[in-house]
A and B are shown apart, each in its own frame.
Chain A
Amino acid sequence: MKDREAACLSGQWFDVEGGADMAERNSGLSVPPSVRGVDRNLDTSSHAAAIDVRNMNFYYGEHQVLFDISLMVPERSVTALIGPSGCGKSTFLRTLNRMNDLVEGTKCTGECLVEGQNIMDPAVDVVLLRKHVGMVFQKSTPFPKSIFDNVAYGPRVAGEKNRSVLADLVESCLRKAALWEEVRDRLHTSAMALSGGQQQRLCIARTLATNPRIILMDEPASALDPASTDRIENLIGELCANYTIVIVTHNMQQASRVSHQTAFFFKGHLVECGPTMQIFTSPSEKQTEDYITGRFG
């Protein structure tokens, strides 16, 4: 156990007390080790709220899919949204940068404060919002362009034309997404030729290039092989030092490895939200425990 923790030492938020082991021993639930960079005992209560959702209800036409959700996401941390399929976690994630606006006949009530501003406000411009709240999808979605053009897309549409600025930006984003070494020699070849895992990291790099504060990830690794998943998780560990990350995952092991805070959704309700270690070792709700221990879902 101690070896593993030593491996975590480089993480910027590492807490020397090693509370994880204590918690594991106390409950019968097993929690896998966290990835590098994610300290699950980080006290996020001192962090400012990056996202503060208050009493959110969401409807597809007449059909209500989210019920009175209130959730606080601390900045520079990873929040995992878990729950069975169809519980509304992806819908919730998509309200955070108003991607649901693109779907005909949806309605959202309540408040959602991002950086202190209510994004439900009609005066909010979704283009600016999405620039600051990036999103990575389940299926990697590289544009049928070169790798360089993919990463440079966001800054370009925002008006950046200077080639050397773009080149620097593309390099730094690809480095941050741990892809630079693999693609530095073929930046101008088609992004469609990359492997699935590489494509997903490219999508992360592309998101980073718009200089967001918050990154939403919708099951970013569910279509990938274990090795690629591992790389994505490590990447999340590195990114959470500077970005606020909200990740939807159906893989509970993954949630427990990468997140500081976990929220459990069930049938459109937010059942429980708390520090990851607490949710995975001593959940306060019966439903949460049943789901985590695999009794349903």
Chain B
Amino acid sequence: MPSWATRRIHRRHETFIQWALFVCAALSVLTTAAIIFVLLSNAVYAPGSKVAFFERVSLAEFLTSTQWKPRDGEGGQFGIWPLLSGTFLVAFIASAVSIPAGLGAAIYMSEYAHPREREWLKPVLEILAGIPSVVFGFFALKFITPWILKPLLQWLGMDVAVFNSLSAGIVVGIMVTPLIASLSEDVIRSVPRSLREAAFALGSTRFDVSARVVVPAALSGILASFLLAFSRAVGETMAVAIAAGGNPLLTLNPLRGSQTMTGFMVHASTGDSAADSISRMSMYAVGITLFVITLAINLLSGWIMRRFREVYQ
């Protein structure tokens, strides 16, 4: 075969591969589109004979009712607030745990730890990040609540339920701590060394350098990592489904049980109601709420992080 012929075969062959790989890459866009389509077509407007959730329950009821009783037939009430309060209660407790711990660890690893110490600290924190969510749920239910919260709160004269938001929030906080630590550490380390030196040359202690120069300089990036962790906490499922229980209460009392959006979705999927029943369809309405909230927080976080990178790169 003459060389130009093999060349042409090559070229056709390569064009094919290129297209195949493009399809692979485009699949991720298709996934997003599919998620949005599935959520919208079941929650907002259903084509064909099905009736979407919001065609049966008004958006006003969804957003204003304070009761979440996803029953078919009489007595069903679909107000998202109990689920939202549960979700945000857990997420805020998680932030209260993970922000100081994660930021402290990030500062320690970037400003204080010896390089050799950091070399083993990071992988060990990665192990913590790699532990499955169900394991944390078990830990909350079987260790944190009975062995830590119960004795402590009883000593303080308070009563804590077996399923409670506090233990769920604590374990979710532990779960996202490595995320904050690793993202914030990256951000803090990207603050130029010259800035640290300048601060030291002005007679700063290490605390002054960290707290007055480095952390403020990295603040937007650190904030972005907090937001990302918050969104992770909002979307966290199994730990919360185990530890917080399944009672959708509109309460901010962390010692009682609550149901989060994700917890409800797990609960609804294991139920045995018909596929097109309203209790089942409510899952999509909750799903779309969850999707929109996490997406919004992630986009905000990404935007802040990009702005931070522009300053130093």
Closest A residue to B114 by CB, please name it.
Answer: A104
Which stretch of B41-49, B135-143, B192-200, B293-301 is in the interface?
B192-200
Q: How many residues of A contact B (CB 8 A)?
A: 26
Q: Are A128 and B203 in contact (CB under 8 A)?
A: yes
**CB contact between A157 and one of B115, B197, B212 (< 8 Å): that residue:** B212
Within 8 A of A (CB), among B192-214: 192, 194-205, 208, 212-213
Asked whether A144 and B202 contact (CB < 8 A) given A157-B208, A157-B212, the answer is no
Asked whether A141 and B194 contact (CB < 8 A) given A104-B115, A157-B208, A157-B212, the answer is yes
Asked whether A157 and B201 contact (CB < 8 A) given A139-B194, A143-B195, the answer is no
Residues of A within 8 A of B196 (CB): 102
Q: Are B201 and A97 in contact (CB under 8 A)?
A: yes
Is residue B84 within 8 Å, beta carbon to beta carbon, of the partner chain?
Answer: no
**CB contact between B213 and one of A130, A134, A139, A143 (< 8 Å): that residue:** A143
Is residue A137 within 8 Å, beta carbon to beta carbon, of the partner chain?
Answer: yes
Residues of B within 8 A of A201 (CB): none
| A142-170 vs B, Cβ < 8 Å mask (1 yes, 0 no) | 01110000000110111000000000000
Closest B residue to A129 by CB, please name it.
Answer: B203
Residues of B within 8 A of A130 (CB): 200-204
Closest B residue to A143 by CB, please name it.
Answer: B213
Closest A residue to B218 by CB, please name it.
Answer: A144
Is residue A207 within 8 Å, beta carbon to beta carbon, of the partner chain?
Answer: yes
Is residue B76 within 8 Å, beta carbon to beta carbon, of the partner chain?
Answer: no
Residues of B within 8 A of A134 (CB): 201-202
Is residue B151 within 8 Å, beta carbon to beta carbon, of the partner chain?
Answer: no
Residues of A within 8 A of B198 (CB): 135, 137, 141, 143, 203
Residue from the set B196, B204, B217 with the largest chain A CB neighbour count within 10 Å: B204
Q: What number of A-B contacts does a CB cutoff of 8 Å give?
A: 64
Residues of B within 8 A of A203 (CB): 198
Residues of B within 8 A of A139 (CB): 194
Is residue B100 within 8 Å, beta carbon to beta carbon, of the partner chain?
Answer: no
Is residue B274 within 8 Å, beta carbon to beta carbon, of the partner chain?
Answer: no
Interface size class of B (residues with CB under 8 A): 20 to 34
Residues of B within 8 A of A158 (CB): 203
Residues of A within 8 A of B200 (CB): 99, 102, 126, 130
Residues of B within 8 A of A156 (CB): 212
Is residue B311 within 8 Å, beta carbon to beta carbon, of the partner chain?
Answer: yes
B interface, over-half SS: helix
Q: Are A210 and B203 in contact (CB under 8 A)?
A: yes
Q: Are B203 and A157 in contact (CB under 8 A)?
A: yes
Asked whether A135 and B201 contact (CB < 8 A) given A104-B115, A143-B195, the answer is yes
Q: How many angstroms from the CA of A143 to the CA of B197 in the assembled complex?
A: 11
Is residue B216 within 8 Å, beta carbon to beta carbon, of the partner chain?
Answer: yes
Asked whether A131 and B203 contact (CB < 8 A) given A137-B197, A141-B198, the answer is yes
Is residue A36 within 8 Å, beta carbon to beta carbon, of the partner chain?
Answer: no
Q: Are B199 and A153 in contact (CB under 8 A)?
A: yes
Q: Are B115 and A153 in contact (CB under 8 A)?
A: no
Residue from the set A102, A134, A144, A154 with the largest chain B CB neighbour count within 10 Å: A144
Q: How many angstroms from the CA of A143 to the CA of B311 in the assembled complex?
A: 12
Residues of A within 8 A of B208 (CB): 157
Q: How many angstroms from the CA of A194 to the CA of B216 in the assembled complex?
A: 19
Is residue A127 within 8 Å, beta carbon to beta carbon, of the partner chain?
Answer: yes
Asked whether A141 and B197 contact (CB < 8 A) given A130-B202, A153-B202, A157-B208, the answer is yes
Q: Are B216 and A145 in contact (CB under 8 A)?
A: yes
| B89-127 vs A, Cβ < 8 Å mask (1 yes, 0 no) | 000000000000000000000000001000000000000
Residue from the set A141, A145, A156, A203 with the largest chain B CB neighbour count within 10 Å: A141
Is residue A206 within 8 Å, beta carbon to beta carbon, of the partner chain?
Answer: yes
| A116-136 vs B, Cβ < 8 Å mask (1 yes, 0 no) | 000000000011101100110
Q: How many angstroms from the CA of A74 to the CA of B258 in the assembled complex?
A: 74
Residues of A within 8 A of B115 (CB): 104
Closest A residue to B196 by CB, please name it.
Answer: A102
Q: Are A137 and B194 in contact (CB under 8 A)?
A: yes
Q: How many angstroms from the CA of A157 to the CA of B213 in the assembled complex?
A: 11
Q: How many angstroms from the CA of A287 to the CA of B211 in the assembled complex?
A: 48
Closest B residue to A158 by CB, please name it.
Answer: B203
Q: How many angstroms from the CA of A126 to the CA of B115 in the assembled complex?
A: 22
Q: Are A153 and B212 in contact (CB under 8 A)?
A: yes
Q: Are B202 and A206 in contact (CB under 8 A)?
A: yes
Q: How many angstroms from the CA of A137 to the CA of B198 in the assembled complex?
A: 8
A–B complex contacts, Cβ < 8 Å, 17 sampled: A99-B200, A127-B203, A128-B203, A130-B200, A131-B203, A137-B194, A141-B192, A141-B194, A141-B195, A141-B197, A143-B216, A153-B202, A154-B202, A203-B198, A206-B202, A207-B202, A210-B202
Known A99-B197, A210-B203; 5 more pairs at CB < 8 Å:
A134-B202, A141-B194, A143-B213, A153-B199, A207-B202
Chain A residues with CB under 8 Å of chain B are 97, 99, 102, 104, 126-128, 130-131, 134-135, 137, 139, 141, 143-145, 153-154, 156-158, 203, 206-207, 210
